[in-house]
Amino acid sequence: AEDEIILFEREMKEFWTKLKSIYGTEQINQTSALRDSCKESIKALSEKWSKKLKEGDLMIDKIQEYSNEILQQTQRISENQEHLTEIKSNLNQEEERKKDLTDSIQELKEELMKKKEIISSKNKAAKERMERLCKSKILFEERLGLEIRRIHNEQLQFIFRHIDHKDPDKPYVFTLSINEQGDYEVTSCTPPLDCIAELQLKVRQTNNFSAFVANIRKAFTALSHK
C-alpha cells in the first residue's frame, strides 16, 4: 500500500509539472488546492490503513501468542493425563498388594487358631493324663511302696523304696513328663537303667502305664541284686 502511495505522489508531481506549462496561475492554484486536498485525503487514508496494518500485525501476534499458550496447555494436559494414568496404575498395584497381604494375614490367623486348638487339645490331654497318674498315686504307694511327687514344669517324680533289702530306705527315682507330642518321656533316672528307653517306647505303644511303672520297679530290683 505504501509503494502505491509513493508511486501515486510521483505521478501527481509529474502531472503538476505538465499542468503548469499548459494552464494559467489561477487554474494552477485551483488545481494545487485540489491536489492538496487529494494529498490530505491520501494521507488520511494512508494513516488509516497504516493503523489497520499495525492493528492487524498486533492481532496476528496476539493470535500466535494464544496459539502457543493453547499448545502449552495441551501439552500440560497430556502430561497430567499420563501422570494420572501412572497414579491409577500404582493405586491398583497397591490395592492388589493390600489384598494379598490381607489374605496372607487371614491365612496366618487361621493357621495360628488351628495350632492353638491343637496345643490346647494336647495340653488338655496331658493334663487329664497327669490327673489320672495322680489318682493312681495311692494305689502305687500301697502296692509298690512308691511315692509320687509333682515337681517343676509339670513333671512327676517316682520314688521307690523297700527295694534294697540291705537298705530299705534307699530311694530309686525316675522323673516323668508329657512331651509336646503328648507322649510319656523319662527325663531322669537314678540309678540309671539300661532298659529305660525300651520301657519308654513300650508304654508309648501300649499306653499301659501301670505295667510301665511295675517294669521299672522290677528293673531297679534286678539292679539292686547285682
Average pLDDT over the chain, rounded to an integer: 82
- What CATH topology corresponds to 145-225? Copper Amine Oxidase; Chain A, domain 1 (3.30.457)
Q: Which residues contact 189 (CB under 8 A, 6 or more apart)?
A: 173, 174, 175, 196
CA-CA-CA-CA torsion sign (112, 114, 119, 124): positive
pLDDT band (50, 70, 90) for residue 48: confident
CA 131 – CA 51 distance, rounded (Å) = 116
pLDDT band (50, 70, 90) for residue 186: very high
154 DSSP 8-state letter: G
Highest mean pLDDT among 15-24, 28-37, 151-160: 151-160
225 DSSP 8-state letter: T
Neighbours of 132 (CB within 10 A): 10
Question: Over pLDDT 90: what percentage of the chain?
Answer: 28
Domain residues of the chain, as ranges?
Answer: 88-143, 145-225
Length reported for the chain: 226
CA 223 – CA 178 distance, rounded (Å) = 26
Cα-Cα end-to-end distance for the chain: 143
Determine the pLDDT at residue 119: 66
What b/e sequence results for 205-215 when a residue is b if at least 16 CB atoms lie within 10 Å of its CB, and e otherwise? eeeebeebbeb
CA 207 – CA 204 distance, rounded (Å) = 5
pLDDT band (50, 70, 90) for residue 121: confident
CA 110 – CA 113 distance, rounded (Å) = 5
